[in-house]
């Protein structure tokens, strides 16, 4: 609707504005125009075009603004209606009853009335576009949400629409499926991609008792969970609700504009009345006519056309660009407060990195060959679904290494994997703590600190029997090309 109104207003306003203003700026054009069409016909044409602009696209300003003005609570619509209406009515008098005005005041202001309405309409359209782009960013995860769920009912697993899932239902999730609602795992293990909620692209390991979030993706493994929150109570629904509230709220600067307008409109009316009174008392004859002309001029000039589109345009640029890169504002004032921000702290590195780990280091004792150890570790990790395992395998493949066969592969959730390779057990632990507690391996003193192992930067550690060689590997996630240079903190 707004787009249509803006197009109509622009098409009709442009010729009125160009013909009227160009005639003032370039006199030969005015003389040529008068030789083609008479002034009376031209004014009637202006009248028709401007009437359509004011009473079709611009009618909303009068419908809202005039009642607000009569209630004593004027706002931007009142200001538009006052300025555009005064310019239009004065021009109508000049067009159809010029004899009531002095000859030196018989000028039309149709272009002013049309431009006021068109500019403010453009501002409203830009604001609607900004809200639409944010709404699209909100609806994207909603469209990708699971539409059905496999629910256990009466000893059977049946597929039901997500709207029919109740709190307490046991839901079965297969590999690659979206999780329908929030809940708690009661059986099975898996790795779940929660990037749409947390921003971290690496899947999160989940076991019995862990919570799951509706809308996230089960990457591998099958499990059952008990639904705890459904419908509007889910985390995703609450996030959408907060963003929608922020989208519908006003920025502090918009509230300031409304407050200014509340006082500005009465001040303009008072000034126009004072202008009329002064001209009526001290002006030349016919004094009341000159007073009316100048009072109307005050109303027209006082309409701040730039105030209308300025704030909506800034909102469109800010929220629209943010929505494109996946940033949503929980509170409307957050956008305005960003201009005071000097430092942005990220507690999740996945928002800055590619999310795909790569092997950066493989540290060996002097009597071990790099390629031999990497091939052995890759052979074990090839059967694992852990993202770091994929990084180790990719490193071996990039060097053209041939991985051997492994048997009796076993994955120990949260700790690592092991399998038989080269005649012995080859465990691959995810941390020093896992190596000590799960695989009963004593690391060298240089890397035996469990405190260091708990840090996010600590590497997974691998060892190959029968020689029991500690081979620390370190992986990292490269920064995204679009990420600015960041400094680690804390």
Catalytic residue list: 347
Q: What is the DSSP string of 435-461?
A: HHHTT--PPPGGG--HHHHTSTTPPPE
Q: What is the DSSP string of 402-423?
A: PP---EEEEEETTTEEEEEETT
How far is the C-alpha of 377 from the C-alpha of 395, rounded, in Å?
11
How many C-alpha atoms does 372 have within 13 Å on its Cβ side?
A: 12
Q: Tokens standing for 178?
A: 């979206």
Nearest-CA neighbor of 185 among 412, 390, 413?
Answer: 413
Helix (H) or strand (E) holding 337: helix 333-337
* DSSP-based three-state secondary structure for 219: strand
Three-state SS for 178-221 is ECCCEEEEEEECEEEECHHHHCCCCCEEECCCCEECCCCEEEEC
Q: Tokens standing for 67?
A: 């009642």
Nearest-CA neighbor of 416 among 426, 429, 406?
Answer: 429
How far is the C-alpha of 95 from the C-alpha of 43, rounded, in Å?
6
């Amino acid at each position: 609707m707004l787009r249509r109104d803006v197009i109509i207003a622009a098409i009709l306003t442009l010729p009125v504005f160009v013909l009227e203003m160009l005639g003032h700026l370039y006199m030969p054009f005015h003389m040529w125009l008068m030789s083609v069409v008479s002034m009376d016909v031209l004014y009637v044409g202006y009248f028709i075009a401007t009437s359509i602009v004011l009473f079709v696209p611009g009618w909303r300003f009068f419908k809202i603004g005039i009642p607000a003005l009569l209630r004593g609570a004027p706002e931007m619509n009142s200001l538009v209606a006052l300025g555009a209406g005064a310019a239009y009515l004065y021009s109508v008098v000049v067009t159809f009853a010029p004899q009531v005005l002095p000859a030196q005041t018989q000028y039309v202001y149709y272009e002013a009335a049309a431009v006021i309405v068109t500019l403010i309409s453009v501002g409203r359209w830009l604001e609607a576009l900004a809200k639409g782009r944010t709404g699209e960013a909100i609806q994207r995860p909603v469209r990708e949400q699971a539409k059905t769920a496999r629910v256990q009912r009466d000893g059977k697993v049946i597929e039901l629409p997500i709207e029919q899932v109740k709190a307490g239902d046991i839901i079965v999730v297969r590999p690659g499926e979206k999780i329908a609602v929030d809940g708690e795992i009661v059986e099975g293990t898996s790795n779940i991609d929660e990037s749409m909620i947390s921003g971290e692209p690496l899947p999160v390991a989940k076991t019995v008792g862990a919570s799951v979030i509706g809308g996230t993706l089960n990457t591998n493994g099958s499990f059952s969970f008990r639904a705890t929150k459904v419908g509007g109570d889910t985390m995703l629904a609450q996030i959408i609700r907060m963003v929608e509230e922020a989208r519908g709220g006003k920025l502090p600067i918009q509230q300031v504009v409304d407050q200014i307008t509340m006082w500005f409109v009465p001040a303009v009316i008072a000034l126009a009345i004072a202008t009329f009174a002064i001209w009526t008392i001290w002006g030349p004859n016919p004094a009341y006519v000159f007073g009316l002309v100048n009072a109307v001029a005050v109303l027209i000039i006082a309409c701040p056309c730039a105030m209308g589109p300025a704030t909506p345009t800034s909102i469109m640029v800010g929220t629209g660009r943010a929505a494109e890169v996946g940033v949503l504002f929980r509170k409307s004032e957050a956008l305005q407060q960003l201009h005071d921000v000097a430092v942005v702290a990220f507690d999740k590195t996945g928002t800055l990195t590619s999310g795909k780990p790569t092997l950066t280091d493989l540290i060996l004792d002097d009597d071990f060959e790099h390629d031999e150890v990497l091939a052995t570790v890759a052979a074990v990790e090839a059967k694992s679904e852990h993202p770091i395992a994929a990084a180790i395998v990719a490193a071996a493949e990039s060097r053209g290494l041939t991985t051997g066969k492994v048997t009796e592969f076993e994955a120990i959730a949260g700790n690592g994997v092991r399998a038989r390779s080269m005649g012995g057990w080859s465990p691959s632990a995810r941390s020093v703590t896992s190596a000590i507690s799960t695989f009963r391996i004593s690391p060298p003193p240089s890397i035996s600190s469990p405190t260091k192992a708990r840090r996010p930067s600590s590497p997974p550690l691998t060892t190959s029997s029968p020689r029991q060689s500690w081979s620390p590997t370190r992986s990292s996630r490269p920064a995204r090309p679009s990420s600015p240079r960041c400094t680690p903190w804390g």
